[in-house]
């Protein structure tokens, strides 16, 4: 029973019982997490077909119907169900054995938060062991979104924990004494650190001040474990597990970082940098995988992710759209020492994703071509019937692709909204496509002005008895259009898989 909540004066054996009950909450959280992971594995590998798959697509409808999806936010009906079901489970675990004991409830929220920390670090690891179980799940995709959700839930649990304790100290006139004791102070500081982390990770702040978010995440998150360790002894097993994972992640990241040289060039007709990185002593990462690029002479800390578009003997090639701070500085260098962290996030082109697929449709918007082009080459080499639609604001933005352009049906929108991803708006001036052909070193399959009809393209792809794959990498609205086009076919029972690649989170 929960209500009324009382400040109970417990004897030794009652305290012992409460301690055991609180420990049990921690084990229950771990057990729930394990069950959820096993369920996701079974769901992804065995259950996601037929009526279950159609239900999943129905639940993907956006709740408030806003136009632009915001990454990390709980926006679809299905996502909201998962988020609040998990939150509900945590709250139920916290309240179920309270037995009118206010302190039990207060500590239960702290315990549930502490027990959730290791999983959250596991989800946030760049080289997470979860990849062994979910090889197709890139760090940048759903895993990162769940990491953000769980982070916000941990913060909510900690907020309730802190508020309940403050009320207790206030009611028992111990605000001035208890809060100055070392263990309570550690808790207060840990809550402060968590507040800074959550605020800097808020989408608006993160997107505007990415380097602030990134540096705070790396530096300040390291303060949390020692503060929590000294705050309360019962949560130490979770803190030790968290620290262990943070150390493994850092060590793996250092081990997969290599110092080398990059040659950077920018064609004056283009706003996309061509980056050639030499891999003299190590096999280069495969095309389609991601690397983190650090240029120490420009910034000691910043590491920006890019996609490998070409992987040859002893080198890889990447293309980077000139956008903000980092890429603008890159324009000014020609040959420069760099640190490359490879094998991060996406796994590169692989048969696993296209196994059994009869037809594929690749749709790229702007720099999303760096994702689509390696796949177009791979599908062609493996004899899969594939169509590649590539929408760019101007012809110059295709130059980096060289002969790869020959695989694409190109659409020139002529629009640029300044965010560097060709997120074009209606009513823009369209280019005369035919006059643009000469700028390219290879001829595309077709060159048109305007945008492709995505609904029609998806409709043409999806045959009655064939297995189809749609892959998209581009602006949010383009991805949303593709998702909506695919949805109607999935709901009609067609066998079509949709992979949405996201640049940034």
Ligand X SMILES: Cc1cc2nc3c(=O)[nH]c(=O)nc-3n(C[C@H](O)[C@H](O)[C@H](O)COP(=O)(O)OP(=O)(O)OC[C@H]3O[C@@H](n4cnc5c(N)ncnc54)[C@H](O)[C@@H]3O)c2cc1C
Residues contributing to the site for ligand X (CB under 6 A): 140, 207, 210-211, 290, 302-307, 318-321, 323-327, 345, 367, 370, 503-504
Comparison of 370 and 497: residue with beta carbon closer to ligand X? 370
End-to-end CA distance of the chain: 42
For the CB of residue 210, give the shortest distance to ligand X in the complex, in Å.
3
Contacts of residue 417, defined as CB under 8 A and 6 or more positions apart, other chains included, come to 423, 424, 425
Burial class (CB in 10 A: 0-12, 13-18, 19+), 383: exposed
For the CB of residue 83, give the shortest distance to ligand X in the complex, in Å.
22
C-beta of residue 342 within 8 angstroms of C-beta of residue 452: no
Comparison of 120 and 370: residue with beta carbon closer to ligand X? 370
Angstrom CA distances, 110 to 90, 116, 159, stand at 11, 10, 9
Comparison of 207 and 425: residue with beta carbon closer to ligand X? 207
3-state helix, strand, coil in the chain (%, to 5): 55, 20, 30
Quick count: other Cβ atoms within 10 Å of Cβ 131?
18
For the CB of residue 306, give the shortest distance to ligand X in the complex, in Å.
4
Angstrom CA distances, 84 to 46, 81, 87, 106, 307, stand at 25, 5, 5, 21, 34
Transcribe 235-249 into DSSP letters.
Answer: GHHHHHHHHHHHHHH
Comparison of 26 and 151: residue with beta carbon closer to ligand X? 151
Comparison of 345 and 414: residue with beta carbon closer to ligand X? 345
For the CB of residue 178, give the shortest distance to ligand X in the complex, in Å.
41
Tell me the residue ranges of DSSP E strands in 83-240: none
For the CB of residue 271, give the shortest distance to ligand X in the complex, in Å.
10
Burial class (CB in 10 A: 0-12, 13-18, 19+), 179: middle
For the CB of residue 420, give the shortest distance to ligand X in the complex, in Å.
7
For the CB of residue 484, give the shortest distance to ligand X in the complex, in Å.
23
Angstrom CA distances, 149 to 95, 155, 335, 365, stand at 22, 10, 41, 28
With tokens 């999983």, the residue in question is 119
For the CB of residue 252, give the shortest distance to ligand X in the complex, in Å.
16
With tokens 């940034």, the residue in question is 504
Comparison of 79 and 275: residue with beta carbon closer to ligand X? 275
Comparison of 139 and 165: residue with beta carbon closer to ligand X? 139
- Return the DSSP state at 1: -
* Residue 230, token pair as written in the block: 């000294």
Comparison of 106 and 370: residue with beta carbon closer to ligand X? 370
For the CB of residue 504, give the shortest distance to ligand X in the complex, in Å.
4
User: Three-state SS for 493?
Assistant: coil
Comparison of 304 and 342: residue with beta carbon closer to ligand X? 304
């Amino acid at each position: 029973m929960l209500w009324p909540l009382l400040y109970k004066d417990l004897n030794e054996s009652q305290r012992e019982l409460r301690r055991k009950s609180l420990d049990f909450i921690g084990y229950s959280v771990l057990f729930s997490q394990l069950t959820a992971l096993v369920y996701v594995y079974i769901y992804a590998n065995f259950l996601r077909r037929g009526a279950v798959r159609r239900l999943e697509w129905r639940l993907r409808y956006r709740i408030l119907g806003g136009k632009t999806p915001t990454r990390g936010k709980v926006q679809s009906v299905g996502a909201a169900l998962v988020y609040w079901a998990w939150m509900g489970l945590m709250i139920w675990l916290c309240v179920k054995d309270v037995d009118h004991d206010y302190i039990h409830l207060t500590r239960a929220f702290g315990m549930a938060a502490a027990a959730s920390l290791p999983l959250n670090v596991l989800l946030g690891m760049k080289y997470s062991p979860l990849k062994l179980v979910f090889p197709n799940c890139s760090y940048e995709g759903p895993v990162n979104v769940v990491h953000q959700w769980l982070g916000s839930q941990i913060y909510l649990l900690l907020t309730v924990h802190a508020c309940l304790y403050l009320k207790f100290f206030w009611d028992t006139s111990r605000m001035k004494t208890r809060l100055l004791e070392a263990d309570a102070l550690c808790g207060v500081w840990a809550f402060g650190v968590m507040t800074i982390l959550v605020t800097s990770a808020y989408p608006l702040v993160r997107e505007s001040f990415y380097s602030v978010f990134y540096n705070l995440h790396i530096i300040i998150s390291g303060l949390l474990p020692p503060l929590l360790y000294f705050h309360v002894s019962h949560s130490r097993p979770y803190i030790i597990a968290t620290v262990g994972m943070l150390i493994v992640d850092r060590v793996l990241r250092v081990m997969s970082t290599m110092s080398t040289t990059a040659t950077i060039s920018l064609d004056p007709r283009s706003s996309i940098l061509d980056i050639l990185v030499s891999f003299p002593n190590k096999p280069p990462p495969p095309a389609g995988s991601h690397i983190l690029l650090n240029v120490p002479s420009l910034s000691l800390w910043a590491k920006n992710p890019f996609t490998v578009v070409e992987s040859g003997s002893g080198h890889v090639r990447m293309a980077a759209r000139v956008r903000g701070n980092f890429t603008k500085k890159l324009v000014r260098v020609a040959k420069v020492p760099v640190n490359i962290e490879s094998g991060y996030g996406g796994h590169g082109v692989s048969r696993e994703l296209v196994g059994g697929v009869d037809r594929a449709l690749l749709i790229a918007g702007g720099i999303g071509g760096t994702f689509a082009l390696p796949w177009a080459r791979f599908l062609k080499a493996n004899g899969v019937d594939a169509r590649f639609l590539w929408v760019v604001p101007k012809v110059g933005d295709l130059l980096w692709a060289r002969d790869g352009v020959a695989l694409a049906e190109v659409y020139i929108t002529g629009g640029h909204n300044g965010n560097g991803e060709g997120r074009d708006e209606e009513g823009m001036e369209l280019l005369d496509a035919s006059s643009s052909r000469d700028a390219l070193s290879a001829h595309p399959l077709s060159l048109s002005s305007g945008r492709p009809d995505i609904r029609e393209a998806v409709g043409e792809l999806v045959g009655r008895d064939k297995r189809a794959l749609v892959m998209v990498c581009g602006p949010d609205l383009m991805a949303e259009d593709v998702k909506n086009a695919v949805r109607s076919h999935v709901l009609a029972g067609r066998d079509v898989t949709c992979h949405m690649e996201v640049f940034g989170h």
